[in-house]
Structure 1
Amino acid sequence: MKLKLNMRNEIKGVLALAALLVLIAFAERETNDTAVKQISIDIDNIENNHFIDEEDVRRLMQFNQQNLIGASMGSISLKEIEKRIKADKFIEDAELYSDLKGNLLVNVDLRRPIARIVRNDGPDGYIAEDGTVMPVSEKFTARVILISGSYAHNLLAMGNLNKTEEGKQLLALIEMIEDDDFWKAQIAQLDIDSKRNINLFPQVGDELIEFGQADNAEEKLKKLMIFYKEILPVKGWNKYKRVNLQYEGQIVAE
C-alpha cells in the first residue's frame, strides 16, 4: 500500500513538473512573439552626475539601424544590447528585462567620478570610484579633486587604476581624501611628476605639501593633520612655504 502511494506521489510530481515546463515554454513563445511597444529607461544616478541621459542610452541600444519599437522580442538579443550599453565608460552596469505587454525595461547604473585628470597637451579625463578612467563630457562637469603633472598621461593610458599596484595606491589616496570632509574641502589638487612623486595644493594656505609617492598614504595624512592642528595654530598660517611628509616619523616644515 505504501509503495503504491509513493508511486502515485511520484507520478503526480512528474505531471506537475511537465505542466510547469509547458507553461514556461508557452510564456516564452508568447514573449518572443510580442512586439516591443515601449522602452522604459531608469538611470540610477544618486550623485547627480549627468554624463548620460535617456536619449544617450537609446542610442547605445541601437544596432545596424534596427528599430527596436515594433520588433518582436524574439528577434532581439537582450544580452547583446546590455553588452553595448555597458561598453560605455560612463556606465557601470545595465540590466534589460521584457514583459508580456511588450515593454522593454532598462536599468542603468552610472559610474561616480572622484577625480579629474587635467592636461595642457591633450584631453582631460575622470577617475571613477571603481578605478575606471572615463572621458570628459560636454553635458556635465563634476566638482572633484584635480590631478595634474607629467604622470597624468600614464593614468589616462591605464584605463583602470586597479591594473597596477601604483594605480591602486593612488586610488586609495584619492578615496581617503574623497571620504573625509576636511580633506575633501582642503585639498584641491594633486600634481604628480614622472617619478610618481605627489605635491598637494591646499585650498587654504600657501604652503606646498610634498607628499612623496602614494604609498603609506594614511600615515602621511595623519602627519599632515598634526601639522594643521598643532603646528599652524602656534606658528601661523603664513609661516611655512613647504611641508615635506615623505620621511617616516617626521614632518619637515620650512
Structure 2
Amino acid sequence: MKLNLNIRKEIRIAAALIALSFLIAFSERKQGGALCKDIVVEIENINDNHFLDEADILRLVEASGQTLKGTSISRIDLKAIEKKLKYDKHVKEAELYGDLKGNLIVNVELRRPIARIVQEDAPDAYISEEGIVMSISEKFTSRVVIISGRFVKQLLEKGDLMKFEEGKKLMEMLDFIREDKFWNAQIAQMDINSKEDITIYPQITGQLVEFGSPDNYEFKFKKLMVFYKEILPQKGWTKYERVNLKYEGQVIAE
C-alpha cells in the first residue's frame, strides 16, 4: 500500500514538473514570437547620475538601424542593440527582452562617477567607479573630487585607468577616499603633475597638502590625520600654509 502511495506521489510531482516546463516554454515562445508594440526604457540608479534619460536611451535604440515596432521580437537582433548601448561610456550594462504584452524592455544601468577631470584647454570628463573616462553631460553635474594637472592628459588618452599601472594606483587612492567618510568630505581637488606628484586642496583646512605619489597612500593619510588631530589644535589652524607628506616617517609643515 505504501509503495502505491509513493508511486502516485512521484507521478504527481513528475506531472507538475512537466506542466511547469511546458508553461515556461510556452511563455518564452509567446514572448519571442510576439510583435513589438512598444519600447519601454528602464534606467537603474538614474537618481545617482542623470547623465542619460529615457529619451537618450530611446534614441540610441532607434539608431540601431533595425525596424523594431511591428517586428517579431524573436527577429530583432537584441545583442546588437545591447552592444550599441554599451558603446556609450555612460552605460555600464544593457539588457533587452520582450514581455508578454509585446513590449521590448530596454534595461540600462548607468556608470557612477567618482572624480571629475578638469583642464583648461579641453572639455572636462568624469572617471567612473570602474576607471572608465566618460564625457560630462549638460543634464547632470556630479559633486565629486576634482582632478587637474598635466597628468590628466594621460588619463584622457588611455580612456581606462585600469589598463595602466599609474592609473590603477590612482584608482586605489580614489576608492580609499570615496569609502572614507572624513576624507571624502575633506578632499576637494587633487592636482597631479607629469611626475605623478599629487597636491591636495582640502575643503576645510587651509593648508595645501604635498602628497607625492599615490604609493603608500594609506600611511600618508594616517600621517595627515595625526597632523590634523595633534599639531593644528596646538599650533593653530592658520599657522601653516602647506604640509609635506612625501618623505617617509616625516610630516613637514611650513
Aligned to 2:230: 230
Quick one: structure 1 residues 21 and 45, their matched pair in 2 at CA, closer, same or farther if it must change by over 3 Å?
closer
Helix, strand or coil: the match of 1:204?
Answer: coil
Aligned to 1:192: 192
Aligned to 1:51: 51
Counterpart mapping for 1:18-167 below 5 A: 30-45=30-45, 47-63=47-63, 65-167=65-167
Q: CA–CA distance in 2 between the matches of 1:214 and 1:192?
A: 10
Q: CA–CA distance in 2 between the matches of 1:134 and 1:169?
A: 19
Quick one: structure 1 residues 20 and 140, their matched pair in 2 at CA, closer, same or farther if it must change by over 3 Å?
closer
Q: List runs of 5+ in structure 1 lacking aligned partners.
A: 1-8
Q: CA–CA distance in 1 between the matches of 2:235 and 2:80?
A: 63
Displaced runs of 4 or more, over 6 A? 19-26
Q: CA–CA distance in 2 between the matches of 1:115 and 1:35?
A: 43
Give deviations 1:59-100, integer Å, cap 9, x for gaps: 111245434222221221111111111111111111112123
Aligned to 1:201: 201
Quick one: structure 1 residues 25 and 185, their matched pair in 2 at CA, closer, same or farther if it must change by over 3 Å?
closer
TM-score w.r.t. the length of structure 1 is 0.87
Q: Is the 8 A contact 2:46 2:110 kept in 1?
A: no
Q: CA deviation at 1:26?
A: 6.3
Q: CA–CA distance in 2 between the matches of 1:209 and 1:79?
A: 48
Greater Cα offset, 60-69 or 72-81? 60-69
Quick one: structure 1 residues 216 and 47, their matched pair in 2 at CA, closer, same or farther if it must change by over 3 Å?
farther
Q: Is the 8 A contact 1:210 1:242 kept in 2?
A: yes
Matched residue count: 245
Percent of pairs with identical residues: 56
Q: CA–CA distance in 1 between the matches of 2:185 and 2:31?
A: 53
| Equivalent residue letter for 1:167 | G
Q: CA–CA distance in 1 between the matches of 2:210 and 2:25?
A: 66
Q: Quote the RMSD (CA, aligned, Å).
A: 2.5
Give deviations 1:33-55, integer Å, cap 9, x for gaps: 32101222211116521001111
Q: CA–CA distance in 2 between the matches of 1:229 and 1:135?
A: 39
Q: CA–CA distance in 1 between the matches of 2:158 and 2:194?
A: 15
Aligned to 2:7: none
Q: Is the 8 A contact 1:47 1:112 kept in 2?
A: no
Quick one: structure 1 residues 179 and 192, their matched pair in 2 at CA, closer, same or farther if it must change by over 3 Å?
same
Give deviations 1:102-130, integer Å, cap 9, x for gaps: 12112211111010000001111001111
Q: Is the 8 A contact 1:177 1:183 kept in 2?
A: yes
Structure 2 residue 221 is the aligned partner of structure 1 residue 221: yes
| Equivalent residue letter for 1:56 | D
| Equivalent residue letter for 1:222 | K
